[in-house]
Amino acid sequence: MANTETSLKEAMTSIEGALGVALVDYSSGMALGTLGGGKDLDLTVAAAGNTDVVRAKARTMEHLGLKDGIEDILITLGSQYHLIRLLSGRGKDSLFLYLALDKGRANLAMARHQLKRIEADLEV
C-alpha cells in the first residue's frame, strides 16, 4: 500500500508523458495532493474544474437511470490528454486521480493501465 505522496510520485515517474497529477476530493473540489503542473497547468484550478465534470457526469447518469459506475473520463485536447480516474473502495468513494499527459509523448492505453495499478496500491 502506498500513501498519497508516493502514489503521485509513481504516476509522474512511471507514466510516459505525465505533466501533472492530483488526488482530488470531489465532494469538496479540493486537491489532497498535487505533483507537477506549472504556470500553464495549475493543478488546484484543474482539481476544482474537473470536480464539476465528475459531478455533471454523475448527475447525467442518474437522470438516464444508468446503474453503473464511472471508471474514468478522458478529455482530449490538441496537445494533451486529461484523464480522470474515479477511485473505489473503502475511504476512496469521493476521490479521483487527475492526470494530465503530453499527447505527443504519452501512450494513452498504458497511462490508463498504470493509473489503475496506482489506484489499487493507494492507501488513503
Within the chain, how many helices (H) and strands (E) appear? 3, 5
Distances (CA, A) of 47 to 41, 51, 70, 73, 74: 11, 6, 17, 14, 14
Domains of the chain: which residue ranges? 4-92
115/100 Cα distance (integer angstroms):
12
Three cell numbers, residue 113: 493501465
Give me the DSSP letters along 27-48: TTTEEEEEEE-BTTB-HHHHHH
Give 36-62 pLDDT, tens digit per residue: 998 889 999 999 999 999 999 999 999
Q: What is the pTM of this model?
A: 0.93
Give 91-124 pLDDT, tens digit per residue: 667 899 999 999 999 999 999 999 999 999 888 7
**Does position 86 have pLDDT exceeding 90, yes or no?**
yes
DSSP structural state of residue 89: S
